[in-house]
Chain A
């Protein structure tokens, strides 16, 4: 993390990768041994339980791939390269806090550790007005949302008298003296967290920020950050607020339905790949919101985990394919992909697999993500599943646009597409993971 200080530019990536791999190794090991980890000593703040471990593992996997991608994605950066890695890793620390918190204070701190580096990262292309704009939008709205979140936390604290999530849960079960305040607090929390996971109508920042940020950062935001947001959302609601779930489930259900519908329909109109991916990311948030609805049900946490993993891997693969096509040529529209299957079959294949996976077309991994999610929700909210199903049908349309450009469009552009070896490795690794998830999705689902 501090290697940049020594100006050892070449060492940065290996160190980062090593560190991430080591962390992944540790979390995987503790997962397999069932070890509660070192979290026991900090139970009032953290609990590094199975839930946290598995989410950490999948996030580390994503970030590992992202880091591989970044070696090329950040190639133009010189002095600030070390800062970038450091910021990403800081942000990752925040994410881990959000996976493992047992206290609202830690949740708040995790979110801030996650977000503040992101504000910087979003604006990291200082001379690019789009990047500036993205940073400002993200920052202002993020700060605003933080305020709302904090107000919510305060009200919950006021009504239950504690920040400890388990204790809150117990208090909510018992019933509190001022239920109105509690309800208000919960709703404000919903607003704040919905902002983080970019659920409608708190999603407005997402398309603009995704589009304006540097590609690698966008990929990071769309994957690891979103994972952290949902993991925290789920963790909080499943431990603390199950007692009054009839109350908040109405709002969440409405948000879920709105999110997927609005984002999918809007995505149809996009001509820029990155912006399309932003809406796609919002739509996935919509599906995932359904999992919050059934928080506490057996399998719901596993469903989020699997969904997040399949979604993250596919998104990273898609972005890695996107940057090799779009960055050198400065064209991020779908037309940039025309005839790609002839020029670079591997890139086209990776992109096609990612798109089909994101669309949830069997037998690709994304389907199983959706499947587990939908089947968990089905029992309680069949009508919501039907909306989700219709929406995934709509989503097929824009995902296929890329495939159509790559495989079926006869007129070709003159862009030259080269694959750097690091990206190639990311792609291969991504495809291998997608394949593994396709064959054995149950193993991930069963982790929690």
Chain B
């Protein structure tokens, strides 16, 4: 019952979204104001919505993928005692996420922004009896808050520069804005995006966030929430386009994140962690694309990524479900036989993300590479390709180690293994189909396939200001260059897929290098010790400072001074008290001395 309400509401909103899609397609953006939230003088903040081509696109992903994940969750969370709570949180998340994309101003976006952070906190810490999960949840929330502070300050600058937070007003005044100010705004907004979309240096929460139930990882930490940063930058493309410096920063952060986290992903053994690092890496690619000015490509990749990463997570969940909670791939192997449906959809997902020709990831990645080559040049392109190759490597490793070879788990687990129920597999299959055909939404024009640049045209529709929401990226590359670039990366991907089959797929046991980790491998497996670094750079000093300030600065320092005044008063009192020694002679002498002193005033 709970599941039906939960999933049903999502289905309803999906259908409504489709209606919106039609309406937007037919008559342009829809605007409506629910009520007046607050106003300070000229600054008026409404609880208002704006459904334009960009938001409706995001809404489609959120409600569509969200619906599938809800359905899947009915099966996955069936035995959990917090079943009802799970759906409550999940629906709250969808609410917040829709708020984020549907708002017609930055404040609404911020509401959703923090709201999804909160839901993420609640869902990561869903199994709250485990303290580590609680810690992971807190870490996620707090790192997000660091980003949120940036976003908030960005909003303050927007208010100062444009006198409004509404998209409509801000983007209408772009022409007259001070470029330096715009750069500041963009950088601060990007700090927010870094937090939410787990970019370096604020990425470490995302792998830890895998503590939550797997559908959560799929929905929040792969398909939707983490792409909010991409949405934010795309929404503000007008601002970013005015600031080459900011764009540069975005591109560098994206690229570094893409490569760095892909390397970490190579040596992870937790099935969800691998996917998590993969997500961070893919998000890095999206930001690279944004930095190159290819907003549409980024959105395109968001879309396809939503399909195949949700698919991957859900099928990983299916594996975990089947294995009775086991997540370490070293204890798996040969699952192909036991879970055929899961295996096939996982295979599709892996190929899609690795850039197997004509699958969705192939198209979206190719667009990014083409844009990188066009705007950044060969070196950028080469670096991006490295990340693509690494992606293929860790994904194939994951696939082969999990599903091929011999089963390496315990006997008990072997008995437990079963294929998931259809309530879980059907959503998987739908997602698999989407992962295959999703690329057709925006095929490159030079390939002359159906759906050529369809998405780009859609997003370039006129927004509320009568200007294109996301201008088409101009790629000045000849068809032959594009063809050759594409062929090169595709060839590399295929090579990896085949090569790794021989390393991991064909062998019964894991290679030694995956069991015993030494040297650089060990550093990678330990995620370059970034967590430890952060711990000793930020967490420990803060805690030590906290204790120090409390013990020494507060109790002994500030309060010591206050108490010292009191002590001083009583010390003085003790001295004065001795004057009153009870002897009349002294009293009389005191009087006379006092009188004598008084007589001195005659001479003043």
Chain A residues engaging chain B, CB cutoff 8 angstroms: 136-137, 140-141, 144-145, 148, 180, 183-184, 187-188, 190-191, 195, 200-202, 204-205, 207-208, 247-248, 250-251, 254-255, 262, 265-269, 394
Indicate if the CB atoms of B594 and A202 lie closer than 8 Å.
yes
- Judge if B601 is at the interface, Cβ distance under 8 Å: yes
Q: Which of A180, A195, A205, A265 contacts B569 (CB 8 A)?
A: A265
Q: Which of A204, A208, A269 contacts B574 (CB 8 A)?
A: A269
Indicate if the CB atoms of B582 and A187 lie closer than 8 Å.
no
For chain A, what secondary structure do more than half of its interface residues adopt (helix, strand, loop), or is it mixed?
helix
Indicate if the CB atoms of A141 and B588 lie closer than 8 Å.
yes
Cα–Cα, bound, A250→B602 (Å): 10
Indicate if the CB atoms of A251 and B591 lie closer than 8 Å.
no
For chain B, what secondary structure do more than half of its interface residues adopt (helix, strand, loop), or is it mixed?
helix
Chain A's nearest CB lies how many Å from the CB of B9?
58
Indicate if the CB atoms of B569 and A204 lie closer than 8 Å.
no
**Which residues of chain B are within 8 angstroms of A255 by Cβ–Cβ distance?**
598
Indicate if the CB atoms of B580 and A184 lie closer than 8 Å.
no
Take A184-B602, A190-B598, A201-B594 as given contacts and tell me if A265 and B572 are in contact as well, using a CB distance cutoff of 8 Å. yes
A393's closest neighbor in chain B, by CB? B569
Take A191-B591, A201-B591, A204-B587 as given contacts and tell me if A265 and B576 are in contact as well, using a CB distance cutoff of 8 Å. yes
Chain B's nearest CB lies how many Å from the CB of A188?
8
Indicate if the CB atoms of B598 and A187 lie closer than 8 Å.
yes
**Which residues of chain B are within 8 angstroms of A208 by Cβ–Cβ distance?**
580, 582
B562-604 contact mask (Cβ, 8 Å, vs A): 1 or 0: 0000000110111011011010101110110111011101101
Indicate if the CB atoms of B577 and A266 lie closer than 8 Å.
yes
Cα–Cα, bound, A429→B574 (Å): 38
Indicate if the CB atoms of A269 and B598 lie closer than 8 Å.
no
**Which residues of chain A are within 8 angstroms of B584 by Cβ–Cβ distance?**
136-137, 140-141
Indicate if the CB atoms of A191 and B595 lie closer than 8 Å.
yes
Q: Which of A180, A205, A394 contacts B587 (CB 8 A)?
A: A205
**Which residues of chain A are within 8 angstroms of B570 by Cβ–Cβ distance?**
268-269
**Which residues of chain B are within 8 angstroms of A184 by Cβ–Cβ distance?**
599, 602
Take A184-B599, A208-B582 as given contacts and tell me if A262 and B587 are in contact as well, using a CB distance cutoff of 8 Å. no
Chain A's nearest CB lies how many Å from the CB of B49?
55
Chain B's nearest CB lies how many Å from the CB of A336?
21
Chain A's nearest CB lies how many Å from the CB of B601?
5
**Which residues of chain A are within 8 angstroms of B597 by Cβ–Cβ distance?**
201
**Which residues of chain B are within 8 angstroms of A191 by Cβ–Cβ distance?**
591, 594-595, 598
Indicate if the CB atoms of B587 and A141 lie closer than 8 Å.
yes
Chain B residues engaging chain A, CB cutoff 8 angstroms: 569-570, 572-574, 576-577, 579-580, 582, 584, 586-588, 590-591, 593-595, 597-599, 601-602, 604
Q: Which of A141, A144, A265 contacts B573 (CB 8 A)?
A: A265
Indicate if the CB atoms of B580 and A251 lie closer than 8 Å.
no
Indicate if the CB atoms of A266 and B604 lie closer than 8 Å.
no
Cα–Cα, bound, A195→B588 (Å): 11
A270's closest neighbor in chain B, by CB? B577
Chain B's nearest CB lies how many Å from the CB of A278?
10
Cα–Cα, bound, A273→B224 (Å): 75
Indicate if the CB atoms of A250 and B588 lie closer than 8 Å.
no
Chain A's nearest CB lies how many Å from the CB of B599?
6
Chain A's nearest CB lies how many Å from the CB of B569?
6
Chain B's nearest CB lies how many Å from the CB of A122?
14
Cα–Cα, bound, A158→B235 (Å): 99
Cα–Cα, bound, A183→B576 (Å): 30
**Which residues of chain A are within 8 angstroms of B572 by Cβ–Cβ distance?**
265
Q: List 10 A-B contacts (CB under 8 A).
A: A140-B584, A140-B588, A188-B595, A191-B591, A191-B598, A195-B591, A201-B590, A202-B594, A204-B587, A269-B577
Chain A's nearest CB lies how many Å from the CB of B592?
9
**Which residues of chain A are within 8 angstroms of B594 by Cβ–Cβ distance?**
191, 200-202
B574's closest neighbor in chain A, by CB? A269
Cα–Cα, bound, A145→B588 (Å): 10
Chain A's nearest CB lies how many Å from the CB of B175?
60
